[in-house]
Structure 1
Amino acid sequence: MSYYHFAEVVHRQADKYGSRIALKYRNNETGKWLKISWREFADKVMLTAEAMAEFGIGVQENIGVYSQNMQQCLYTDYGAYANRAVPIPLYATSSPAQIDYIVNDAQIHTLFVGEQLQYNNAFKVQQKSAVLTRLVVFDSSVKLNPEDKTSVYFDDFLRLGNNTHAESTVKVRMKEASEDDLATIVYTSGTTGEPKGVMLHHSNFMKSMHIHTLRLPEVNDKDTSMCFLPLTHIFEKAWVAYCIHKGVKIAINNDPKMIQKTLPEIHPTLMCNVPRFWEKVYVGVQDKINNSPSAIRKVFLDAIETGRLYNLEYKNKGIKAPFLLESKFRFYQKTVYAMLKRVLGLERGKLFPVAGAPLSDEVNIFLQSVDIHIRYGYGLSETTATVCFYPETGFIMGSIGTIMPDVEVKIDPSNNEILVRGKTVTAGYYNKPEANAQSFTPDGWFRTGDAGRLEGEVLYFTERIKDLYKTSNGKYIAPQAIEMLLSSDKYIEQIAVIGDERKFVSALIIPNFPMVEAYANQKGIGFESREELVANPEIIRLIESRVEEHQRNLASYEKIKKFTLLAEPFTMEGKELTDTLKLRRRVIGEKYAAQIEAMYQE
C-alpha cells in the first residue's frame, strides 16, 4: 500500500477490509476478548480527530498520551495524525516529576490518560502546572478529583466533534498533510541524564514501513500480533504501525502481568519483545527439564540437540539435512516443540522480533532449537527502531543481524562507535541544540553511543560506550556482557556489575526468589524473611557456584571477585531501572554505596 502520512492508513485499510477484525482487547472483568473491525477502528479514529479539532488542538501541536496499552491509545494517535498534531507517549509508570518534565519541555496543554493511577498523577501535575490545562480520561471508571473542573472522559470527548465544522476541519488538514510533518516525539529513558525528546517525522515512519516490507515478506493480513510491550517504547510503537500497514490483526494486552494468561487465549503468530521475556521462558523450561524423571529429561535434551542441529547447522546454512535428522526433527516438531509452544500460547508462532537489550547466545540457541523463531535485532528511538535484525535464514549467531535496506552503518575507528545514517534517522532532539551537536557528525552520521564491529552487512554489538568501566589497573570492562552471561541462570533475577575505577569487578545480585526459596526448602535451610535468606552462607555459596560456572571463559580481570545479595529487586519505582528496564548505574551506585564500599574493604 502506498501513502505518505499516517493520517490516511487506517481509512485505507477500512476501505479494503471493512468488517474484518482489526483490533481485539480484553475485558478484564469478564475475561472476554472484544473485537473491533477495521471500519469501526476508522470511524473511532475519525471521531477522535474531529473531537480534537473541536477541542482546539492545532496543526503540529504537541499532545500527550499517558496510559498503559489500550485501544484508545491507537484512536488518539491516529486521530492526532489526521489533525497533523503530534502525539507524545509517556510510560504508564511515569512519576509526576517525569510527567511534569515532559509536559514543560514539549509544552503539552492536553494530556490523554489511562486509568486511575495515571489520572491521579496527571491531575497532581496539572494543579501546579502553568502549561497543562486539561486531561482526557480513557477509563470511564476513573473517579475524578472533586476539585477537577476541566477533565473529560474519552467517550464524552468523542461527542464534542459530532458536527460538520469539525469534520470539515479534519478533512482539510488530512489533505494538507505532508511527510515533513512531525509525527511524534519519543522521550528517551535518561539513564545518564535528563530525558531527550527524539523527533520522528512521518517521512521516518514511511521509510521504516517500506524497508520492513522488503525484509519481512512473510508478514501478511492473516497474522495476529500480540501488543505486549508499552506503546511508549519505539519498538512496539513502530511494530504496531507496521502491523496496521500490513493489515495484521492486533490483540492489545493492557496488563503486562497478564501476558502468561493472554498468550494462550490469543495464540498470536507475531509478537515483538525484549530479551528478558525469553530469558524467563528459558529458565522456566530448563527448570522443568532438570526436575523431570531421567527418561523424560533425556527425551527433552535430545529434542533440543536435534532442533539445534537441524535449524542452525542445516536449515540456517541452506544445507539439506540428512533424512534421519529431518525425520527426528519432524517428530519432535509435532510432539515436544508443539507441547512447549502450546503451554506458552505460541503454537501458531511465525516470527518473534526481539530487541531492546543484549540477548545471550545460550538463550538464542535454545529458542532456535525448540523451533521458536525469534528475529534478534538492534535499533534505537533515534533510528525509528530497526537498524538491523536476523534474516529468516543465514543469520550469524553472536551478531545482532543484517543491516536494513537503505540504512547506512559504519564504525568510528577512534572508539568503535556504531554510526547510522539514512531516512529512518531522527532529525534531532526537541529543544536540545547542544545534544544535537554532540550526537551527529559534521557529515550527518548519528552517534548511537554503542560500540560494535561490522563484517560486511552483519553488525555485532560490543557494549554501551558510556557503560564501559576502566578498572584501577587500566583494564576495560564491559558490564553488560558480564551481566548477560548470568541473566539466564535460574537462580539469578537481576545483576548490576560494579568496577569503574575499582581494583576488581564486583556485583550486586538479586536472586530469583521463588527458585532460591525452593532450593532452601529442599535443603532444609530455614528462613523467615528474604533478608535472612540472602545472608545465609549456603545460599551465598549457591550463587557463588552459579557465578563461577557462567564466567569460566572470561579473562581474569573481567571476573566477578565479590558480590552482595540484595533482598529487594531493582525497580522503576525505586529509580534503579528506566521505563525500558535498563539499569540506571549512577542511581544504583549511590543507593547501594555502603554495600559496594564494603566489598572493597581490605
Structure 2
Amino acid sequence: MTYYHFAELIQRQAEKYGNRTALKYRDDATGKWSKISWIQFAENVRLTAEAMADSGIGVQENIGMYSQNMPQCLYTSFGAYANRIVDIPMYATSSPTQIAYIVKDANIHTLFVGEQLQYNNAWIVQKQLPNILRKLVVYDSSVRLNPEDKTSVYFDDFIRLGNNAHAESQVKIRTSQARPEDVATIIYTSGTTGNSKGVVLTHTNYLEAMRAHDLRLPHITDKDTSMCFLPLTHIFEKGWTFVCLVKGMKVAINHDPKLIQKALPEIAPTTMSSVPRLWEKVYIGVQEKIHNASPTMQKVFKDAIETGRKYNLEYRRKGITPPLALKAKFEFYNRTVFTLLKRVIGIQNGRFFPVAGAPLSDKVLEFLLSVNIPIRYGYGLSETTATVSFFPEEHYEIGSLGILQPDLQVRIDPSNNEILVKGKTVMSGYYNRPEENAAAFTEDGYFRTGDAGRLEGNTLYFLERIKDLYKTSNGKYIAPQAIELSVSSDPYIDQVAVIGDQRKFVSALIVPNYALLEEYAKEQHIAYTTRAELLQNKFIYKLIEAHIEEHQGELAAFEKIKRFTLLPEPFTIESGELTDTLKLRRRVVAEHYAKQIEAMYAE
C-alpha cells in the first residue's frame, strides 16, 4: 500500500473515491446527519490551505485549533499539512489561562476557534497577548463577535479570501516540498502535574503509525464506518481518525460528547476509539438491568454471559475450535441477547473498538468480550503517536496491554521496571524543552514512558504509573491507580480518588452512583432532604463500605482502603480535578478536599 504524505493524502483519496461519502456530521439546524463527499472534503482542504498561504502563515509556523470536533478541524489540519504548517489542537474545555499558556509557549499568531465559548475565551487571550495572537478564525458562523473585535474572521469568509491564483501556486510549491521530517503536530499533554508540555510529532511519526496499523489491521477496510467521539485534540482520536482516512473509511464526527448515546444508534458504527470510562458505564448499566430483571431472566442473562465467556475467552481467544454444542449455544445467544444489547447501545455492526487512555479492569474487559463486543484494549502515549501495543483478534492475554506494534522496540528498565520505547513513532522531543528532552530519553535513544510494566515475549503488561506511586508513612509503596481500578467497576461507585502518600494508611474520596444510591434509599425507606444528608446516613455508608470490601480481596493489607468519604458532587474538568482526558489531577483533588482528607486521618 502507498502511504501518502498528509500534505497530499486527502486530494489523493478524492481522486480514488470521488463522490463517495468521506465525512458525516450533525447539522445543528435540522438535527440530521449531513454528508461530505471525498471531493467536497478535498475542495475544502484546498481552499483552507490557500487561505492560510494568502494570510501569510509561514512554512513550519504554528497555528492553534481550539474547538469541539467539527469537519472544519480536519480541513484546518490537512490544509496546514499541505502548507507544511504545524497544527496545535487544544481541548474545547480549556480555560483562557490554559489557552494563553499554549499560545505563548508555541508563539501562535493564528487561532481557529469553534463556538461561542471558545471564541469568548480566545478573545480574552488575544486582548492579553495582542503582540502574539493576531487573528481568530471562527468555525461557527452563529458566533457573535465582540464589538471591539476588528481582526477576527468567520471560517467561511476566511477560505474565500484565499481563492486566488497566487495562493494556489504557493500551496502547490509547498506541498511539492513537503518532507517526512517536517513537524506536523504539537500535542500539549493534559498535565496531571505541573505545566503541560508540547509533544512534537513529525510526518514520519504519522506515516509509520499508519503503516504499523495497516499491518496489524488488515481486516479494517474502506467499507467501515468510524465514530469520531473522543476530542480530536487527543492523540488517540486524532491518530485513529487519520488511520480511518488513510483506509478510506467513512468518519462520522460527533460534535458533542454528551450526545454520544443518541449518535451511536443513528450511525451504528463498525469501529470507534474510546477511553475505558464509556465501556465501564456500559458494564454498570447492564449489571443494573440484570439486577432489576426477574429471577428467570437473571438466569438467562447469566447463562448467556457465561456461554460467551467460554466461547470467546477459553476457545476463540486461544485460537482453538470450540465444541459444536458450545458454538450452537453461543450463536443462539449472539443472535438474541447479545445483538439486542448491542442494538440498544448502537454498536450492533461493531467489528473493532480500540480502547486506551487509562487502565481498564479485567472484570469489565472480560464481560465486554463475553457479550461479544469486539474490544481491543491497548496502550500508548502522545509521545509515541498513540499506540505502543494492543490486543490482536487471537492469542492475547487478559490482564495485559496486548502485543507490541511492528518494528517498535520496547524494553524494561531493570532499576524501576519503567517501560522504555524506541522507534519511528516516538516523538522528536518536547517543544523548546532541551533539559526535559535530555531526561526523557536514555543515552541510547529510548523514551522513558513514566509507566512501570513487564514484558513477556511480545506481550506488554502495565504495573503502575511511576509518578503516581505513594509511599505510606510505614515505608510501603502503593499504586493508587491499581486500588482505584479494583473498586471503580462497582455499580455503586462512580469515581474514586485514593489517598495515602506519607499517610499511615490508605483512604479514599468516593463519588457514588447517585441514581442507584437514591433508588436504594427509596427501597430501604431512608428519608433525606439533600444529597449531602443522604451520604451522611450510616446505612448508606455501610452499603458503600461493603461494596468496597468486596473488591479488595486480592489487595495486601497495607493497600486496602481503611476509611473513605462520600462526596456529594463529582470530580469534573471544569473544577480542574480532571484533565480533559478524564484523568485525576491528584494535586488539585488533594487541595480541594484537604479538610475531608485530614478528617479521615484524625485520631
User: TM tier, shorter chain?
Assistant: over 0.9
Q: What is the identity, as a one-letter code, of the residue corresponding to 1:523?
A: Q
Write the distance in 1 (CA, Å) between the matches of 2:126 and 2:331.
Answer: 60
Partner of 1:486: 487
Q: Residue 29 of structure 1 corresponds to which residue in structure 2?
A: 29
TM-score normalised by L of structure 2: 0.99
Letter in 2 for 1:330: E
Partner in structure 1 of residue 180 of structure 2: 179
User: 1:200-246, CA deviations, whole angstroms, 9 ceiling, x for partnerless residues?
Assistant: 00000000000000001111000000000000000000000000000
1: CA distance between counterparts of 2:132 and 2:186?
17
Counterpart for residue 593 of structure 2 = 592
CA distance in structure 1 between the partners assigned to 2:527 and 2:48 by the alignment: 58
Tell me which residue corresponds to 2:442.
Answer: 441
Match of 1:398 in 2: 399
CA distance in 2, matches of 1:336, 1:601: 50
| Alignment match, 2:340 | 339
Give the superposition deviation at 1:512: 1.1
Q: Please name the residue that 2:275 is paired with.
A: 274
CA distance in 1, matches of 2:18, 2:293: 50
Alignment partner of 1:472 is 2:480 = no
Output the amino acid matched with 1:100. Answer: A
For residues 389-442 of structure 1, what are the alpha-carbon distances to aligned partners after superposition, in whole Å with 9 as ceiling and x for unaligned? 001111100000100001000000000000000000001000111110111011
Alignment partner, residue 198 of structure 1? 199
Given the alignment of the two structures, is residue 13 of structure 1 paired with residue 19 of structure 2, yes or no? no
1:294 to partner: Cα distance? 0.6
Work out the CA distance in 1 between the residues paired with 2:116 and 2:161.
23
Q: Measure the CA separation in 2 of the matches of 1:368 and 1:516.
A: 28
The C-alpha deviation readout for 1:14-70, integer Å capped at 9, x for no partner, is 000000000000113322100000000000000000011111111001000000000
Taking every aligned residue pair, what percent have the same amino acid on both sides?
68
The answer to whether the 8 Å contact 1:4/1:179 transfers is: no
Equivalent residue, structure 2, for 1:555: 556
* 1:145-544 aligned within 5 A: 145-544=146-545
Q: Does 1:67 align with 2:94?
A: no
Cα shift at 1:318 = 1.1
Deviation at 1:126, TM superposition (A): 0.3
- Residue number in structure 2 paired with 1:103: 103
Give a deviation string over 1:142-197, Cα, whole Å, max 9, x none: 01011110000000001011110000000000000000100000000111110000
Q: Which amino acid aligns with 1:484?
A: L
Q: State the Cα deviation string for residues 474-525 of structure 1 (Å, max 9, x = none).
A: 1110100010111111111100000111110000001111111111112111
Question: How far is 1:91 from its partner?
Answer: 0.2
Secondary structure of residue in 2 paired with 1:573? coil
> For 2:530 and 2:99, how far apart are their aligned partners in 1?
36
Query: Alpha-carbon deviations, 1:312-364, whole Å to 9, x = none?
Result: 00011111111110000000110000000000000000010000000000000
Contact 1:4 1:203 in 2 (8 A): no
SS of 1:578's equivalent in the other structure is coil
Which residue in 1 is equivalent to 2:583? 582
Alignment-mate amino acid for residue 224 of structure 1 = T
Aligned residue type for 1:389: F
Structure 1 residue 3: Cα displacement: 3.6
CA distance in 2, matches of 1:486, 1:409: 31
2:3 touches 2:210 (CA, 8 Å); kept in 1? no
Per the normalisation by structure 1, the TM-score is: 0.99
Checking the alignment, whether the CA contact within 8 Å between 2:417 and 2:454 is kept in structure 1 is yes
Q: Distance in 1 between matches of 2:554 and 2:170?
A: 65
Secondary structure of residue in 1 paired with 2:77: helix
The offset of 1:554, in angstroms, is 1.1
User: Residue 6 of structure 1 aligns to a residue in which SS?
Assistant: coil
Partners of 2:290 and 2:141 in 1: CA distance: 46
Amino acid at match of 1:96: P
Are 1:4 and 1:178, in contact at CA under 8 Å, matched by a contact in 2?
A: no
> Cα offset for 1:4?
4.7
Matching residue's letter, 1:272: S
> Whole-Å Cα distance in 1 between the matches of residues 518 and 176 of structure 2?
62
- The answer on whether the counterparts of 2:417 and 2:452 sit within 8 Å (CA) in structure 1 is yes
Distance 1:449 1:95 in 2: 27
Contact 2:441–2:448, Cα closer than 8 Å, also in 1: yes
- The amino acid of 2:237's aligned partner reads E
Instruction: Please state whether the residue corresponding to 1:376 is helix, strand or coil.
Output: strand
Q: What letter corresponds to residue 453 of structure 1 in structure 2?
A: R
Q: What secondary structure, in the 3-state scheme, does the structure 1 residue paired with 2:8 have?
A: helix
Amino acid at match of 2:373: I
Q: Determine the C-alpha separation between the residues in 2 that align with 1:567 and 1:422.
A: 46
Amino acid of the residue matched to residue 119 of structure 1?
Y
Which letter does structure 1 place at the counterpart of 2:415?
A: S
Q: Show the counterpart of 1:49.
A: 49
The question of whether the paired residues in 1 share the 8 Å contact of 2:3 and 2:211 is answered with no
List, as ranges, runs of 4+ consecutive aligned residues in structure 1 with deviation greater than 6 Å. Answer: none
Consecutive unaligned residues in structure 2, runs of 5 or more: none
Structure 1's unaligned 5+ residue stretches are none
